[in-house]
Each structure stands twice: as structure tokens, then as C-alpha cells.
Chains A and B, each alone.
Chain A
Amino acid sequence: MLQFLIRRVIQVMPILVGISLITFALIHMMPRNIVDSMVPPGSPPSLRAEIAQIDGLDKPLWEQYLLWLHQVLHGNFGVSLVSGRPIGDALFSALLNSLQITFFAALVGFLLGILFGALAAVKKGRWQDSLFSLFFIAGISVPPFWFAILLVAIFAFDLNWVPAQGMGPEGWPLHWEQWRHMILPIATLSLIPMGVVGRIVRAATLEALSQEFVTALVAKGMRMDVIREHVVRNTAPQVLAVMGLQFGYLISGSILVDLVFNWPGTGKLLNQAILSGDIPVIQAAVLLLSVIFVLVNLGVDTAQAIIDPRMRR
């Protein structure tokens, strides 16, 4: 097991380096030169040169990359071009806000997906199967930003049950007013994981149920809960892998939904940065979210290997 973990961590290293390279390259692939966006239009070349020198932008690219990487590894993401404040603080508080809804959306989506998927598989070919399969297709096909708008129009505007915007008062633990703000974003974000997980649970359960050992167990007269445990153990690794991917997507995929609900998460941060051309913020957000995505997947791989020793190749 330890060997497996070490090998996976070593495999992840070049990927992390690759991510950092691409993210670094973002700045230099922008149509507008970064120095141009830092100085007022029409500035004399001497000012440009001075600014470039202060930020090390006159050095060769590889030196800039190493300098940037060094800073990032020490938790310094640079300063925003718009606000002039350190990016790190804003980014981490936005990340916490995002995780707050992502976590519950994943929880709701996964639980419903597992429940509906298992029910659909057990009732294969009956109306329950058709109904839940329809749910899943709808879940993966609905544009989240549109669904979010509909929810706001119906539940916040027409019925006035829940607030339409923002995340309400601060504070921990969460109290009712905060939950009221979270209901619609969670409902929107849980749809896709519900659909994706539901489909994979249904397919994996059907596959497990059709295996000979299950027939043998039934023939032996095993109790239902024993059979269920065998089926769950055989489907779990596959389902876990999908859940990990979905959780990673949720953290970054909330961008479209943040916009509609005005939720102060990473999506809103990223959106504002894109609109104002704040490249260092885009860079920092992309880097952080991608690294989290890789780490989540590493965690899932490890969990899979714990459940299923065959995965520890």
C-alpha cells in the first residue's frame, strides 16, 4: 500500500510541473502584453522599462518562471492588477465560500445518485428504471446557469421563499439564514453529479448483478444483505472514481452558477478577473483549482486502492 502511494505521488509530480508551466504561459499567451496592462496608456518607454524591471518582467522567461514558482510555493500569488492587494487572501476566502456549497452539493448529488441508480438497476426494465434514467439524462443535459435562473425566478422571485443573491450573514456554525441562501445553489450544482453518479451506479450495479458469483450466492440461499455487500464492494471503486472527478469539476464548475446567484466563490472571483483582464488573478485561480483537482484525484486513487487491492498494481 505504501509502495503504491509513493509511486502515485511520484507520477503526479511531472503533472504538477506541467500544470505550473501552462499556467505560467497563460500570461505570455495573452493578446495584450502584461506590462501594457500595468502602465497607463501613452506612458514613456522609460516608465515601462522601470515597471518591467521592478516585477522582474525584463528577465529571461525561464528565470521569470522559477521566480514565480518560488513565490507560489511560499504562498505568495502576487498582487491583483485591479485592486493592488495580495491575491492569496481573496483567493482562499473565495475558495472557502465555494467549498461550502460544493461540499453539500456533492453530498446531495452523490446520495441521490447512488439511491436512484441502485433503485433503477434493481427495477431494471420497469417504470422506476425509466423514470430514474430520465432523471439522469435530464441531470447531465440541463445547462446549470439556465436552471439557476429558473430557480431564482420561481422560488426567489415568484414565491419569495428564499433569497436570490449572495450568501447572507457571515459566521460559523451555519444558521438558518445562511442555509436559506445556500438552498438554490446547492440544488443547481447537485444536478450534474446526481445524473453522472446515478448512471454509473446503475451500470455498475447491473454489471455486478449479472456476474456468476452473485447467481451462486443467490443459489446458495445467502441473505439479501450479504449479497448486497458483495455487489457494493464490486461497484464501489468505479463509482468512487467518478465521484472524485465530479467533486473536482464542481469546485471549478461553479463559475457559471456563482454568476447567477452572486455567490462570492472562486467562480465570481474568476469571472471578475476575466472581465477586468486581471491576468495574475486568473493565473492564480487556475493554478490553485487545477492543483486541487489533481490532489482530489490522487485521494480517490488511494481510496480505490484501499477498497480494491487489485488496483494496487
Chain B
Amino acid sequence: MTAMGISALIVMLAIAAPYVTDGQPYSGNALERLKPIGTHGHLLGTDELGRDMWTRLVYGARLSLISGAAPVLIALAIGGSLGVIAGYAGGRVNALIMRTMDIFYAFPAVLLAIAACAVLGPGLLSTIAALSIVFTPSIVRITETATTRIRGMDYIEAARCSGATDFRIILHQVLPNVQAPVLVYASSLAGLSIILAAGLSFLGLGMSPPNPEWGQMLNSLRQSIYVQPWVAALPGLMIFVTSVCFNVISDGLRVAMDVQDG
């Protein structure tokens, strides 16, 4: 419950960013650099260019949440479709899809994300694309396993006998029966996705300055940790808190949907 509350708060702040801050995440005052937390007018202090930390953290939530959530949703759409097709069709289609995924699955996740980002160049879109590539194979696997398990069930057979098209069977019989493990698994990726997206920015492969994004902010404040350790630690703390909340929610979903594996 707490986790959902905190996540909801972060999401709402991100949406309402212009109303809860002074709305100027890019402008700073060179005379007010690296002010501590609690400074008058700058509740959470200022960064190395004198920009208000509260404003940048709230605006940062926008980019960080998008770059964390979008890859999971895209991977869910692409991976889920491929997995259902592979599991439902079986045979050669299954072999083609699954053996291709095996190759992508064989790359370590962080490495694949970095390589993809290095090819695509920095930016929000390439971060999202790179992480989508990373998450898709595992979602295909989970969906394929779940679909193969129910493929031979009587109710699928019954639907086919009654003349339902493949598309109709997938929509009405397969999807409702495979969604639980797949959704739970995808939700468990959200926390990881936030960390990886921030990590790519931290490496200079994701969002570039002066965009407010937590990983990128953490990187530019890295040297200031000796001057204002608490201010410099704030972006990382936000990544940590968001990731914890997402993981707790995912665990809750797993229990609620009664999913054992996946």
C-alpha cells in the first residue's frame, strides 16, 4: 500500500511538474551553486549550476519514468505478441521465433543495452529502443511457455470446433489465460528498467545534459558529492525509492494473481 502511494505521488508530481515547481528546470543562478538542503527558496538545495534541485528532480521524474516504463510496455507488446504466436502456432514458426530470441537472450542484459545504445546514439528514443530490445526476449519466453501449456487444452479445442478463427481464439481464449504470469513478470522488469535507463544516462549514453533526468543528474553531481553529499545523493535516492516501490508492487501483484513461476 505504501509503495503504491509513493509511486502514485511520484507519478502525480511528474504530471503536475509545472504547477508544483517554479517551472524552470533549465535556469540557474551562478551565485547560488550547490546550496544545502533547506536553503530559503531552494528547499532541496541547488545543483552545480545553481539550478533548483526540487524543480529538476520533479521534472526528472518525467523523463526517468518514461524511459523506465516505455521499454517495458513496448517489450510487453512485441514480446507478448511474438510469444503468443510462437506458442499458439508451434512447429516451424515456434522454432524460428524462439531460436532467434535465444540468441538475444544469450547476451548479458547490461551489455546488450550498452551496445544497442552505442549504435543508436544518445537520446531518449534510443534509450527506450535499447531497453526494449533487452526485455523482449525474456517476455517472449514467458509468454511462449504459458501459451504452449494451454495450447492443447480442451477449451481451445472446443473453440476451434465451434468454428472460431485463430485470431478470435487468441483474443478470447489464449490471452485471458496467459496474461497473469506475463504481466507479473513485466511488472518485475519495471524497477530494473528505471535503474538501467538511469545507468545508461549515467554513462553518457542516454539523456544528455542539460535535460533533467535522474541518472544524468547523478552523473553531473558526482564530483559535488564532496561539497554537498546530501544534495548530490538525491537523484540516486529517487531512482532507489522508485525502484523499491515498483518491486514491492510487483511482488504484491504476484501474490494477488497467484503466479508461482515466471
Contacts and interface: CB of A to CB of B under 8 A. Distances in A.
Interface of A: 14-15, 18-19, 22, 26, 29-31, 137-138, 140-147, 149-150, 152-153, 157, 248-249, 251-253, 255-256, 259-260, 270-271, 274-275, 282, 286, 289-290, 293-294, 297
B110 A252 contact: yes
Contacts of A282: 115, 118
Given A153-B226, A252-B111, A282-B118, A271 B203 contact: yes
A19 B106 contact: yes
Nearest to B235: A146
Contacts of A249: 108-110
B75 interface: no
B244 A143 contact: no
A145 B202 contact: yes
Interface in B99-113: 99-100, 102-104, 106-111
Contact of A251 (B108, B198, B199): B108
A237 to B, nearest CB: 14
Contacts of A14: 99, 103
B89 interface: no
A124 to B, nearest CB: 14
Contact of A289 (B102, B108, B237, B251): B108
A144 B192 CA distance: 11
Contacts, number: 125
Given A26-B119, A290-B108, A259 B244 contact: no
Contact of B108 (A140, A271, A293): A293
B223 to A, nearest CB: 10
B106 A153 contact: no
A15 B218 CA distance: 37
B188 to A, nearest CB: 9
A137 B195 CA distance: 14
A145 B198 CA distance: 10
Nearest to A145: B202
A140 B247 contact: yes
Contacts of B243: 141-143
B240 interface: yes
Contacts of A15: 102-103, 106
Nearest to A22: B103
Contacts of A30: 118-119
B236 A146 contact: yes
Interface of B: 99-100, 102-104, 106-111, 114-115, 118-119, 121, 191-192, 195, 198-199, 202-205, 215, 218, 222, 225-226, 229, 232-233, 235-237, 239-240, 243-244, 246-248, 251
B161 to A, nearest CB: 33
Contacts of A270: 114
A253 B196 CA distance: 10
A210 to B, nearest CB: 12
Of the listed residues B99, B115, B218, the one surrounded by the most CB atoms of chain A closer than 10 A to its CB is: B115
6 contacts: A137-B248, A141-B246, A142-B243, A149-B236, A248-B108, A282-B118
Contact of A143 (B222, B226, B239): B239
Contacts of A271: 203
A274 B205 contact: yes
Chain A interface SS verdict (over half): helix
A200 to B, nearest CB: 11
Given A15-B102, A22-B103, A255-B203, 4 more contacts: A31-B119, A259-B203, A289-B111, A294-B106
A252 B110 CA distance: 7
A274 B114 contact: yes
A293 to B, nearest CB: 5
Of the listed residues B109, B111, B118, B195, the one surrounded by the most CB atoms of chain A closer than 10 A to its CB is: B111
Contact of A18 (B106, B115, B203, B226): B106
A149 B233 contact: yes
Contacts of B99: 14
B88 to A, nearest CB: 24
A26 B107 CA distance: 13
Contacts of B100: 18
Of the listed residues A30, A149, A275, the one surrounded by the most CB atoms of chain B closer than 10 A to its CB is: A149
Contacts of B246: 141
A30 B121 CA distance: 9
B114 A140 contact: no
Contacts of B104: 22
A245 to B, nearest CB: 9
B240 A293 contact: no
Contacts of B244: 137-138, 141
A30 to B, nearest CB: 6
Nearest to A250: B108
Contacts of A29: 119
B229 A153 contact: yes
| 5 interchain residue pairs of minimum CB distance | A146-B236, A18-B103, A141-B243, A252-B108, A252-B111
Contacts of A294: 106
Contacts of A26: 115, 118-119
B57 to A, nearest CB: 14
